[in-house]
Amino acid sequence: MPKLYRRFILNLALLALLPGFGYAGALEDLSYGNSRTALLPVPAPAAVAENRAAASGHYLELDGLDLRPVPAAPANGSYEDKEDFRVLYDWQAKRTSAQCAKAKTEMSHSYEIFFGKMSPFARPAPAQVTAFFKGVGEDSVAAHKYLKDAYKRPRPFVRDAGLRPCIPPVKGFAYPSGHSTMARLFALILGDLAPARRAEFLARADEAALNRVLAGVHHPTDIAAGKILADTLYKSLKKDAAFVSDMKNLRPLLR
């Protein structure tokens, strides 16, 4: 049984006992393990493989990108899958209207939605900043859509009619979470640009990811996988010359 899911679910369950979202970095310190032998390769049916070869983001091309660090989606009825639903029902029983309202404001994913109010850049954001994060967002979307199509894991409320999302039900597959991926990827970048605020940015990314669970539109393991995907993408981005150059050019724009 993959250790990352056990550890993630345990920490998420503990977080669920807290009264609100003031727990900075609650999910940041989770250890997902680094044993490559314990990780499953991403399945690549012919049609999906063709999509991968053709797809690209802004800085990254999916073809040749190593996504093996992202573990396979939990099998239906597995321990991890059952724990997902236990946590989802726990949140459904105790989430507040204020929490649901906050989750509703984050139906879409973008730099402005996740970090606009706490951006280390001037507001409104300079065009260079907007273009940079738009490009990184395209990389995030290309990767998580590829994996969603590979695993085709339905949303939790589709699988269990007893779950009632407190935001408008969203379409598409669940694994991994695009919100979790993009929010953490942006947070990692901001943390490198403004190291003194790294914990703050990562805590905000964790909050955005958790909002999708409490709202009932993602399994906890969806957001755990999104975090791993973000880490994987960032490692690749830091090897891309254009990304490194563009990120360097953002530093003079910091407030």
32 occurs within a structural domain: no
Whole-number mean pLDDT of the chain? Answer: 84
Q: Tell me: the pLDDT tens digits for 98-148? A: 999 999 999 999 999 999 999 999 989 999 999 999 999 999 999 999 999
Query: Which CATH number fits the domain that encloses residue 216?
Result: 1.20.144.10
Torsion of CA 200, 20, 74, 56, to 10 degrees: -40
Count of other CB atoms within 10 angstroms of residue 61: 15
213 occurs within a structural domain: yes
Phi, psi dihedrals of residue 56, rounded to the nearest 5°: -155, 155
Identity at 19, one-letter amino acid code: P
| Domain of 52, in residue numbers | 3-16+37-253
pTM for this entry: 0.83
Percent of the chain with pLDDT over 70: 78
Top pLDDT among 36 and 77 is at 77
27 occurs within a structural domain: no
185 occurs within a structural domain: yes
Residue 41 has pLDDT above 90, yes or no: no
101 occurs within a structural domain: yes
Query: Which of 32-41, 161-170, 221-230 is least confident?
Result: 32-41
Comparing CA positions, the residue from 134, 139, 154, 218 lying closest to residue 180 is 218
Count of other CB atoms within 10 angstroms of residue 63: 11
23 occurs within a structural domain: no
Terminal alpha carbon distance of the chain: 46
3-state SS string over the chain?
Answer: CCHHHHHHHHHHHHHHCCCCCCCCCCCCCCCCCCCHHHCCCCCCCHHHHHHHHHCECCCCECCCCCCCCCCCCCCCCCHHHHHHHHHHHHHHHHCCHHHHHHHHCCCCCCHHHHHHHHCCECCCCCHHHHHHHHHHHHHHHHHHHHHHHHHCCCCHHHHCCCCCCCCCCCCCCCCCCHHHHHHHHHHHHHHHHCHHHHHHHHHHHHHHHHHHHHCCCCCHHHHHHHHHHHHHHHHHHCCCHHHHHHHHHHHHHEC
175 occurs within a structural domain: yes
Torsion of CA 60, 66, 70, 76, to 10 degrees: 110
* Confidence band for 22, pLDDT divided at 50, 70 and 90: very low
| pLDDT on residue 51 | 60
215 burial (CB, 10 Å; 0-12 / 13-18 / 19+) is buried
Whether 87 and 100 have beta carbons less than 8 Å apart is answered as no
Cα 143 to its chain centre, rounded Å, is 11
Per the structure, how many domains does the chain have?
1
30 occurs within a structural domain: no
